[in-house]
Amino acid sequence: MPLRGLIFDYGGVLLDMRWDTMRALEAEYELAERVIAQTLYGSDTWRRLAVGVGDRDAWLEEAHSELERVAGRPMPRLHDRWRETQRLIAPNIELIRRLRPPYRTAVLSNADNTLSSRLRDRYQIADLFDDVVCSADIALAKPDTRIYALAAQRLDLQPAECVFVDDMEGNVEAARSAGMQAIHFRIDRGDSLAEQFAALGVEAANQAP
């Protein structure tokens, strides 16, 4: 079955999470490795928020309080400083632009319900996607295989017609279990999404010079 749909995770695929910045902040403030990410995304509060339950501001405040508790001292707003350095992955955005058409495209992300507005207003890339599947909007999150089937259905495609791209291996394996082709993309190891797509036969009609 030919590939017709390309489905992208947000953080780590469209947005550079800047793990280097996080590590530098942890070194600067003598914190344990990955504690900034863990206090932000490792809590039950985040997991509930990602399926549409709870308040985003309360989650951010709780994450900061937990960071101070773990550090054992007052801390600056390191989560904010880390997030402020995150930016779009320009080569991936340009690649998606060149892949439309003939491919249909979507975002599939575990995210709070501000995702669509961020794509539209902050980054101004909403026009690159035929659909946005946000976990908070549908009360379902990766790696539940049902979310991949839903993403394909909303593109009017079968899972076997789709490729899913994520920076987390568990989510990639879940997409494969749902019947999709899948790519494990990691900007921090120098992956080229264009090359990974090309290996599956997905190439833009107008290749970049």
User: What is the secondary structure of 127-146 as a DSSP string?
Assistant: GG-SEEEEHHHHT--TT-HH
pLDDT band at 209 (very low <50, low <70, confident <90, very high): very low
Superfamily of domain 5-16+87-198: HAD superfamily/HAD-like (3.40.50.1000)
- Taking only the tens place, the pLDDT of each residue in 97-122 is 999 999 999 999 999 999 999 999 99
- Sequence-separated (6 or more) residues with CB below 8 Å from residue 170: 143
What average pLDDT does this structure show over 52-65? 98
With contact defined as beta carbons under 8 Å apart, do 14 and 171 qualify? Answer: no
What average pLDDT does this structure show over 20-36? 98
Please report, as a single letter, which amino acid is at residue 159: P
Phi, psi at residue 137, to the nearest 5°? -80, -20
What average pLDDT does this structure show over 61-89? 98
pLDDT cut 90: percent of the chain above it: 96
Average pLDDT of the chain to the nearest whole number = 96
